[in-house]
């Protein structure tokens, strides 16, 4: 399509496309950053940097490919290592570089030192790490008290005032944009994001990073399934299992903030990318999918994103960013009114009637599972759902009892033949 553009803007800086490689082992070396650029990423956030690491770590993972990745510990960078990485990355790539930093909450001068050092090294943006759960956050979850001044990472996301104070100080000490990366696994991440925005943040980033524990060896006394660890800490949960949680957080932020959002958590393909943007992300951070399947997925995502935009007529991501948020409504607006419960389709009241009598817009519309008998092979998977009494096999084909069907869509999702579709029943006056 002539005029199609993938570019987006964060903090006044144009990214050639929405793909950002999240701060992670993927961004700890120049070689990996060059791989990110080779396959098309627009930006990368370098591995978390401290003035001095509080403890030494080595990457350990619990991995269920296609589902989740848990990271309880990893090696971080000292500030001199991070500065060297940024300098080399700016010399050897054209990536937009975000430099991810953290420090103790009560030591503002340390935050400013990190930020100015990495700005001088060439970082295009400074990303304040209020997200990592593998520092004091895990200690707090064990009930051990930590003073506010010593908070790092995700613990800062719990306090809007602390996050805002750090943001304001860093923003005042540098000239490049400031991105605040928040942990979604706190009580009120929206308030923290708003405090950061009010303090001058140019963008808000959200990672997966839900607190989690791995599966265990049930035949070996419940030993956690980490090959090299004798003990376990709450780790950052990443991967497709957190995708829908991320959508919810991003949508809440989109409705409350003015600044752009870098959305992360569970993205592994182009559809995930588009969905996250439709829920409100301006750019999309990717990590776990690359750790499983390689940097090649970035190229696939971008090619398919372009095809999607050509097919749908979008000329710029700005045309669909946040478009899904208009469908969010209170639960009561999804209610099935008494007249609509468990009645034959012919007895459903019209949408116009519900609007006039109930005084509300109608979000619920009756739907039915419809079977294409030519595609149905009688496998019986659609009969299995424990909550459903509407489907049976008759003469080797799925049959739907219209009076019992709720239109929930589970049978459609289970059908390997794509023989079932859930179709809305249009009501007169709707």
Q: Where are the domains of the chain?
A: 8-326, 336-424
The answer to whether residue 113 scores a pLDDT higher than 70 is: yes
| pLDDT at residue 132 in the model | 77
The answer to whether residue 314 scores a pLDDT higher than 70 is: yes
Percent above pLDDT 90 for the chain = 69
Q: What is the DSSP-derived secondary structure letter of residue 122?
A: T
Is 116 or 57 the better-scoring residue by pLDDT?
116
311 vs 313: CA distance, rounded Å? 6
Percent above pLDDT 70 for the chain = 86
| pLDDT at residue 429 in the model | 44
Averaged confidence pLDDT in the chain: 88
CATH 3.30.70.20 is held by the domain 336-424: yes
The answer to whether residue 353 scores a pLDDT higher than 60 is: no
Which of the four pLDDT bands, split at 50, 70 and 90, describes residue 345? Answer: very low
| pLDDT at residue 146 in the model | 60
Helix (H) or strand (E) holding 264: strand 261-264
pTM higher than the cut 0.85: yes
Q: What is the pLDDT of residues 187-200, one digit of tens each?
A: 899 999 999 999 99
Burial level of 356, CB count in 10 A (0-12/13-18/19+)? Answer: exposed
Is 80 or 364 the better-scoring residue by pLDDT?
80
Burial level of 428, CB count in 10 A (0-12/13-18/19+)? Answer: exposed
302 vs 297: CA distance, rounded Å? 9
Q: For 8-326, which CATH superfamily applies?
A: Aldolase class I (3.20.20.70)
CA atoms 236, 240, 245, 246: torsion sign = positive
| pLDDT at residue 75 in the model | 83
């Amino acid at each position: 399509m002539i005029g199609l553009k993938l570019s987006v803007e964060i903090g006044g800086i144009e990214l050639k496309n929405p793909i950002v490689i999240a701060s992670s082992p993927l961004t700890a070396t120049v070689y990996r950053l060059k791989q990110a650029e080779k396959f098309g990423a627009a930006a990368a956030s370098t591995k978390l940097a401290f003035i001095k690491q509080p403890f030494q770590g080595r990457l350990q993972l619990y991995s269920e490919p296609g589902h989740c990745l848990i990271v309880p510990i990893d090696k971080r960078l000292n500030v001199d290592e991070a500065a060297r990485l940024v300098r080399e990355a700016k010399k050897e790539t054209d990536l937009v570089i975000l430099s991810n930093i953290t420090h103790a909450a009560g030591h503002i001068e340390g935050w400013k030192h990190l930020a100015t050092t990495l700005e001088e090294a060439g970082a295009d943006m400074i990303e304040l790490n209020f997200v990592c759960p593998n520092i004091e956050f895990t200690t707090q979850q064990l009930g051990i008290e930590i003073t506010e001044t010593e908070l790092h990472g995700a613990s800062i996301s719990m306090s809007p005032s602390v996050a805002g104070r750090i943001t304001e100080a860093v923003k005042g000490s540098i000239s490049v944009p400031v991105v605040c990366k928040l942990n979604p696994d706190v009580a009120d991440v929206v308030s923290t994001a708003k405090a950061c925005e009010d303090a001058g943040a140019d963008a808000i980033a959200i990672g997966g990073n839900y607190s989690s524990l791995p599966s265990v060896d049930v035949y070996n006394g419940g030993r956690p399934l980490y090959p090299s660890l004798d003990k376990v800490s709450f780790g950052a949960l990443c991967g497709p299992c957190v995708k829908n949680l991320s959508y919810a957080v991003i949508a809440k932020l989109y409705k409350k903030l003015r600044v752009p959002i870098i959305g992360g958590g569970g993205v592994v393909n182009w559809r995930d990318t588009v969905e996250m943007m439709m829920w409100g992300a301006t750019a999309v951070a990717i990590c776990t999918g690359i750790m499983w399947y390689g940097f090649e997925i970035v190229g696939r995502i971008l090619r398919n994103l372009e095809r999607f935009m050509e097919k749908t007529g979008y000329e710029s991501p700005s045309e669909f960013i946040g478009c899904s948020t208009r469908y969010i409504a209170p639960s009561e607006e999804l209610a099935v009114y008494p007249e609509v419960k468990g009645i034959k389709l012919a007895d459903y009241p019209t949408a116009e009637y519900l609007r006039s009598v109930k005084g509300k817009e109608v979000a619920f519309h009756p739907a039915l599972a419809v079977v294409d008998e030519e595609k149905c092979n009688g496998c019986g998977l659609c009969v299995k759902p424990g909550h459903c009494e509407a489907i049976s096999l008759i003469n080797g084909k799925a049959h739907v009892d219209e009076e019992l069907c709720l239109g929930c869509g589970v049978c459609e999702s289970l059908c390997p033949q794509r023989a079932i579709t859930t179709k809305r029943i249009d009501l007169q006056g709707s």
